Amino acid sequence: MSDRIPGLHHVTAIAGPPQRNVDFYVGLLGLRLVKKTVNFDDPGTYHLYYGDEAGRPGTILTFFPWAHAVPGKAGSGMTSETAFSIPADTLDAWKQRLAAAGHAFDAPTERFGERVLAFRDPDGLPLAFVAHLVAQGAVDGEAIRSFHSVTLRLAAPAQTARLLTDLFGYEAAGEEDGRLRFHAPGQAPGNIIDLVASEARGRPGAGTVHHIAFRAHDEAEQLAWREKVRSFGLFVTEVKDRNYFRSIYFREPGGVLFEIATDPPGFTADEPADALGTHLKLPPWLEPRRAQLEAQLPPLRIPEMAGR
Ligand code: ZN
């Protein structure tokens, strides 16, 4: 059993109309839709999961898309940027692909020695590509390989920093332009968290991150984390069955909603690897309501994956 968090499991954000969301993430960014299901706490809306070919932990970006979601704005106590690793030599090709699609992006900058291309999704969610020197994965070409990092905006980063180092086992990896970097030891995807001080309050809504999830290797390790988070003085939920993983949630001292999710059973729990994302999947307790939910959910056309 590990007493360190290896990195991110998934990031969950709020979006506007689902078709626009899938067109962007599959059609332009080339992620795979690895699961089409519903929000278990609000089953009249989709929960869409994007990731790499296999939907591995550390590559999963998920959305609750509401057609009439009110736009939000990242601020203090929220995740302000989600960054993907790309192979170091593909940044120019990504600029060309975004430009060809008429999609705006910022001039590339540099952070901690790596080139960063910042842009937003159609709902305004701040994203970035980081030309990662050690980007890993088995895919070729321009494909996104995994998360690189998330940036948290905090009124007082010191308490969150202490949680990352003293509880999760992250290591401080320096400061640059007011950005504090923390790095989970090892080479797991998405093992970097940046903290930026900000007093400005945000507003949850479309284009903002709802929560970020960290990895536990199995249920026993998750239960151990639950006790450790409680001992750290934070309120933590009971274990919730999310069908593809089990989850516990707590608000870290700066106000960001954290989750710890198990690696198993993963997205092949209810459909084969080559069919991931092709059918609406429901957890057993919602299966009796399938006809009603299918009538309620807007139809979704899955575009060809860009670059494949
Ligand atoms: Zn989650």
pLDDT attached to residue 307: 64
Rounded distance from Cα 132 to ligand 1 centre (Å): 25
Query: Residue 212: which of 9, 1, 15 has the closest Cα?
Result: 9
- State how far the Cα of 67 lies from the Cα of 88, in Å rounded to an integer: 36
Rounded distance from Cα 261 to ligand 1 centre (Å): 7
Rounded distance from Cα 256 to ligand 1 centre (Å): 13
Query: Residue 58: which of 150, 182, 189, 148 has the closest Cα?
Result: 189
Provide the CB-side half-sphere exposure for 109 (13 A, CA). Answer: 9
Q: Classify each residue of 11-49 as buried b or exposed e, where b means 16 or more C-beta atoms within 10 Å of its C-beta.
A: bbbbbbbbbebbbbbbbbbbbbbbbbbbbeeebebbbbb
**For residue range 121-176, what is the model confidence (pLDDT) as tens digits?**
999 999 999 997 654 444 445 577 799 999 999 999 999 999 999 999 999 999 99
Residue 239 DSSP code: P
Rounded distance from Cα 222 to ligand 1 centre (Å): 14
Look at the block and give the residue holding tokens 């990092």.
149
pLDDT attached to residue 139: 45
pLDDT attached to residue 126: 98
Is 109 within 8 Å of 41 (Cβ atoms)?
A: no
Rounded distance from Cα 259 to ligand 1 centre (Å): 6
Rounded distance from Cα 248 to ligand 1 centre (Å): 9
CB 275: neighbour CB atoms within 10 A? Answer: 9
Rounded distance from Cα 160 to ligand 1 centre (Å): 19
pLDDT attached to residue 180: 98
Rounded distance from Cα 213 to ligand 1 centre (Å): 6
Tokens in use for 159? 């308490």
pLDDT attached to residue 148: 96
Residue 141 gets the label, from left (phi > 0), alpha (psi -120 to 50) or beta, of left
- State how far the Cα of 32 lies from the Cα of 26, in Å rounded to an integer: 6
List, in sequence order, every residue forming a beta bridge with 143; answer none if it has no partner: none
Compute the C-alpha angle 167/207/286, nearest 5°.
80
Rounded distance from Cα 141 to ligand 1 centre (Å): 29
pLDDT attached to residue 132: 77
Which residues make up the environment of ion ligand 1, defined by Cβ < 5 Å? 12, 213, 259
pLDDT attached to residue 12: 98
**Can you list the residues of the chain whose pLDDT is less than 50?**
135-140
Rounded distance from Cα 253 to ligand 1 centre (Å): 18
CB 79: neighbour CB atoms within 10 A? Answer: 24
CB 269: neighbour CB atoms within 10 A? Answer: 13
Rounded distance from Cα 12 to ligand 1 centre (Å): 6
**For residue range 84-104, what is the model confidence (pLDDT) as tens digits?**
999 888 999 999 999 999 999
Rounded distance from Cα 13 to ligand 1 centre (Å): 9
Rounded distance from Cα 10 to ligand 1 centre (Å): 6
Domains of the chain, each with CATH number or no CATH? 8-296 (3.10.180.10)
